[in-house]
Amino acid sequence: MAEFTMELNGDQREVRDWLHGFAADVIRPAAAEWDEREETPWPVIQEAAKVGIYSLDFYAQQYFDPTGLGIPMAMEELFWGDAGIALSIVGTGLAAVGVLANGTDEQIGTWIPQMYGDQNDVKVAAFCSSEPDAGSDVASMRTRALYDEAKDEWVLNGTKTWATNGGIANVHVVVAVVDPDLGSKGHASFIVPPGTRGLSQGQKFKKHGIRASHTAEVVLEDVRVPGSCLLGGKEKLDERLARARERARAADGGERVKNAAMATFEASRPAVGAMAVGTARAAYEVALDYATTREQFGRPIIDNQGIAFQLADMRTRIDASRLLVWRASWMAVSGKRFTSAEGSMSKLFASETAKEVTAQAVQILGGNGFTREYPVERMHRDAAIYTIFEGTSEIQRLVIARTLSGMPIR
């Protein structure tokens, strides 16, 4: 187990600087265009693939960094470049985490490479959990998966929403109900291979922010997948369901059983916090530069205490957010339990910080900050998503409170 440290080692600094260069030279110059187009920035993803950023090998190296800092460091630098384009680059990772969290070694080796493709033919993947009537309330999920024992196939029916890369993905990871009597404990995850009949894209959402990232509904109509596409396998699922039924009969609500969606979100929340840190840091840097060069009444506006104090608070919150993210990431890789919901803490504080810091940046730039000539307007729109996706701020507070009180997280 690596000791917790705030000092990046030589290899980590080299990777950080490489990512920062890509974000500055490739992502940022393209950010405004793809935000306006509201389309997946395939050319940028292609460039990321060519240099090795959009690849299974790169994310595996960061994911298995023994300090736990590889992923948050990468997320911060890419999202410093632009949140919408960065999400298009890293969005496949949520589906990959879904497979890593729930799949067998064979499933991991089979499906994750197909999520990325290669530098000559890039692919993306989608993780499909939320539904029109089941966002934060995963227990209300209606998408069903029924087992056809004669054919050893699962039949999926339902509609998913808010799916990053939904409909355009090569591989979809779908969370569905296999036992409705068990609530969220009766869920399982399934791989839907490319070209599977019955899966289609519903409406594509026109969003307030992160507009370069494709978000859409995914419609499943009698989608048949082989039994081998159940993540973890049927034997493991049957054992888990049997334990859940036994606990339900014993009415022991104090025992916690992870469901498929929660396992994915728990693993990804610190990474989302790192994304928020990147956006907040970008907006802060623009505001700081503006405040030191913009003159009013014969002096830089940073000489005004009202501006200077805002910048001080912005930087303090950014650094505190990074500390929480790094702590949670280190705990996760070190096998330490989140006894105080440290993963949710990191996501909550960093996401709220991104909203506040980007709003302050707009204010510091005044009328210029309200125009699209300056990037803080876009950053402020993008930051709104962090308090919503992968668990709203309200859900994070609920998770933290219930963890501290010992109440079950449903």
Catalytic residue positions, numbered: 390
Per DSSP, 229 falls in state: G
**Tokens 């888990």 label which residue?**
240
Residue in 364, 354, 358, 357 with CA at minimum distance from that of residue 387: 354
CA–CA gap between residue 103 and residue 111 (Å, rounded):
10
What's the distance, Cα to Cα, between the start and end of the chain in Å?
31
* Sheet strands (E) in 46-165: 117-118, 121-122, 125-128, 144-148, 153-164
CA–CA gap between residue 87 and residue 40 (Å, rounded):
10
Asked if residues 162 and 214 have their Cβ atoms less than 8 Å apart, the reply is no
CA–CA gap between residue 50 and residue 275 (Å, rounded):
23
**Tokens 């993803």 label which residue?**
45
With H, G, I as helix, E, B as strand and everything else as coil, classify residue 293.
Answer: helix
From the centroid of its chain, how far is CA 51?
Answer: 22
| Phi and psi torsions of 245, nearest 5° | -65, -40
| Phi and psi torsions of 120, nearest 5° | -90, -15
